[in-house]
Each structure stands twice: as structure tokens, then as C-alpha cells.
């Protein structure tokens, strides 16, 4: 395939960015999107120019780093996949592909396609954990009976990889799908009960402090989430918050 790429280039957080056109040829439809970006960067480096900066790590849909807006959709046109799992067979010879960073006030651009998602880390630090005595007398988690349905629903929530596609897609830049998933994964398990009230209050307070918007039930986040995190998690977070506030 021969493609035209329109890519957001921005030198650093303080510079103005702009879309820059690149031509790339002989792209195999077996390549992943990031492999195609690697080939482009080789070409750019060989010309003595700065390669396009983008985040990536595991390249197998686990770490949530490879976040970019492709043709106006978070993680591109496929469903239930991250950018690293997106294949070039989703595109056609002669296509023009626009590639942009996440756009949200709470995710400022660092360089090109790289944004600062440390706001998510700070929300996690505010309560996305349980405190366990690891002195050697810890109860084996497998010895605590948990209804299968609860374990499965908690596991579904725990599959959130913190990529931020929900925020990037939401017209309000809301982080409630992410925070809802992180609250839900503990709210459904006995291990999460001890700190439940503080967890939800602190995580929601930090979310607001970081400048994320509110949920208005549009549901775009759920559609674009590569892990299929359900809106039910937002409802559960709201119930947990109400319970904790009374
Ligand atoms: S809820 Fe989905 S879209 Fe949002 S951070 Fe988690 S995995 Fe990414
Ligand atoms: S690089 Fe880890 S999820 Fe894509």
C-alpha cells in the first residue's frame, strides 16, 4: 500500500503544533500500525530529521501506552483493540490517514503524539489500591469465598489498561469510565471493603482536581474503549460515592 500520513508534530509542550504530511510506500497489510510508524521513522531519521515521538511499550494490548487518535477515532477504526493491535489491513492503498495525540486539558501534549497521562497515576495513588499485611501472616486470597459473578465482574473492570481513550473520546474529557473501572474492581471484592469509602471519595476528588469533565451519559467512551469497559462501572462508582458520603 502507498499511503499519505498527516501527523501532528509538536516540538515540545510550549511550542505550537501543526499537521505535517508524509508519504509512505510498500506498507504491508500484515504490519501493525506501530510497525508502519517504525518504518516511517526510519525514513525520517535517514533524512536527518527528528522522528515522530509516540508512546509504546508492550505492543500486545496490555500496557495502554500506544495511545493516538487515528482518522478521528481513539486507537483507530477497529473495535476492541489498542493501536499496537491495529493492523494495516484495516486501510486501503491510496488512503490518507490522520494521526493526532489525545486532546484533553488534563492530558497536555509533551511532544508530537506523546501526552502526559500522569493525572491517571495521581488518581490511582489517591485510592486505587488495597492495604495488605505482607508480614507473612497474609490470608491466601484464594481461601476467601467470592461469588463467581462478582469475581468475573471485578476481573472485567480490572482489565482497564489506563490508556485514556475514554477521556480522549468524551466530549467532556471525562475520566469517569477509567475511575469507575478502578473503583469497581475493588468494590466487588471483600478485600476492597475496608478502604472502600475513602477510596471512592479520594479518587473522585483527585479526578475533579485534575480537570477532567463530568459524564453526561453519551457512551462514546464505552464504544472506543479497547477493553470493552462497561458504563455499568460509572453507575457503580456513583453508588459507591453516594454510600460513602452518607
Ligand atoms: S476505561 Fe478503557 S479507554 Fe478508559 S483508560 Fe481504561 S481501558 Fe482505556
Ligand atoms: S503498546 Fe502496550 S497496549 Fe499498545
Measure Cα distances from 149 to 154, 200, 232 in Å. 9, 22, 14
Minimum CA distance residue for ligand 2 atom 3? 61
Question: Using a 6 Å cutoff on CB, does residue 162 contact ligand 2?
Answer: no
Q: Kindly state whether residues 24 and 103 are assigned to the same domain.
A: yes
Q: Kindly state whether residues 54 and 123 are assigned to the same domain.
A: no
User: Are the C-beta atoms of residues 55 and 112 closer than 8 Å to each other?
Assistant: no
Q: Measured between alpha carbons, how far is 190 from 183 in angstroms, rounded to an integer?
A: 13
Q: Kindly state whether residues 59 and 131 are assigned to the same domain.
A: no
Q: Give the start-end residues of each E strand in the chain.
A: 3-9, 18-24, 69-70, 73-74, 96-100, 109-111, 114-115
Rounded to the nearest whole angstrom, what is the distance from the C-alpha of residue 210 to the centroid of ligand 2?
24
Model pLDDT, residue 106: 97
Rounded to the nearest whole angstrom, what is the distance from the C-alpha of residue 159 to the centroid of ligand 1?
9
Q: What is the dihedral of CA 155, 156, 162, 164, to 10 degrees?
A: -170
With vertex at residue 19, the alpha carbon angle to CA 74 and CA 56, rounded to the nearest 5 degrees, is 45
Q: Kindly state whether residues 107 and 127 are assigned to the same domain.
A: no
Q: Kindly state whether residues 82 and 42 are assigned to the same domain.
A: yes
The pick from 57, 78, 226 for probing ligand 2's pocket by mutation, whose C-beta has the most ligand atoms within 8 angstroms, reads: 57
- The CATH number of residue 239's host domain is 1.10.1060.10
Q: How many domains does the chain have?
A: 2
Model pLDDT, residue 132: 82
- The CATH number of residue 26's host domain is 3.10.20.30
Q: Which of 87, 83, 65 is nearest to 74 (CA)?
A: 83
Helix (H) or strand (E) holding 211: none
Instruction: Find the domain containing 24 and state its range.
Output: 3-111
Q: Kindly state whether residues 241 and 121 are assigned to the same domain.
A: yes
Model pLDDT, residue 140: 83
Question: Using a 6 Å cutoff on CB, does residue 64 contact ligand 2?
Answer: yes
Q: Which of 40, 45, 31, 32 is nearest to 4 (CA)?
A: 40
Per-position pLDDT tens, the chain of length 246: 999 999 999 999 999 999 999 999 999 999 999 999 999 999 999 999 999 999 999 999 999 999 999 999 999 999 999 999 999 999 999 999 999 999 999 999 999 999 999 999 999 999 999 988 888 887 887 888 999 999 999 999 999 999 999 999 999 999 999 999 999 999 999 999 999 999 999 999 999 999 999 999 999 999 999 999 999 999 999 999 999 999
Find the ligand nearest to 67 CA: 2
Report the predicted TM-score, pTM, of the whole model to 2 decimal places.
0.95
Domain stop point among 59, 82, 111? 111
Amino acid at each position: 500500500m502507498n499511503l499519505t500520513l498527516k501527523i501532528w508534530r509538536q516540538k515540545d509542550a510550549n511550542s505550537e503544533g501543526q499537521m505535517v504530511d508524509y508519504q509512505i510506500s510498500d506498507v504491508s497489510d500484515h504490519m501493525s500500525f506501530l510497525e508502519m510508524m517504525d518504518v516511517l521513522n526510519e525514513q525520517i531519521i535517514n533524512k536527518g530529521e527528528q522522528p515522530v515521538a509516540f508512546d509504546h511499550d508492550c505492543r500486545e494490548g496490555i500496557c495502554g501506552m500506544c495511545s493516538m487518535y487515528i482518522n478521528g477515532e481513539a486507537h483507530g477504526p477497529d473495535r476492541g483493540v489498542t493501536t499496537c493491535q491495529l493492523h494495516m489491513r484495516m486501510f486501503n492503498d491510496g488512503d490518507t490517514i490522520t494521526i493526532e495525540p489525545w486532546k484533553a486539558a488534563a492530558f497536555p501534549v509533551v511532544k508530537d503524539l506523546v501526552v502526559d497521562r500522569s493525572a491517571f497515576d495521581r488518581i490511582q495513588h489517591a485510592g486505587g489500591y488495597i492495604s495488605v499485611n505482607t508480614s507473612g501472616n497474609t490470608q491466601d486470597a484464594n481461601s476467601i469465598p467470592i461469588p463467581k459473578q462478582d469475581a468475573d465482574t471485578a476481573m472485567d473492570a480490572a482489565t482497564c489498561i489506563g490508556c485514556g481513550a475514554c477521556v480522549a473520546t468524551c466530549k467532556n474529557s471525562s475520566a469517569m469510565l477509567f475511575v469507575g473501572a478502578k473503583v469497581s474492581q475493588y468494590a466487588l471484592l471483600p478485600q476492597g471493603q475496608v478502604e472502600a469509602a475513602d477510596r471512592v471519595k479520594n479518587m473522585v476528588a483527585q479526578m475533579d482536581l485534575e480537570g477532567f469533565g463530568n459524564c453526561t451519559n453519551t457512551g462514546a467512551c464505552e464504544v472506543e474503549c479497547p477493553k470493552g469497559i462497561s458504563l455499568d462501572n460509572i453507575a457503580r462508582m456513583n453508588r459507591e460515592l453516594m454510600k460513602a458520603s452518607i
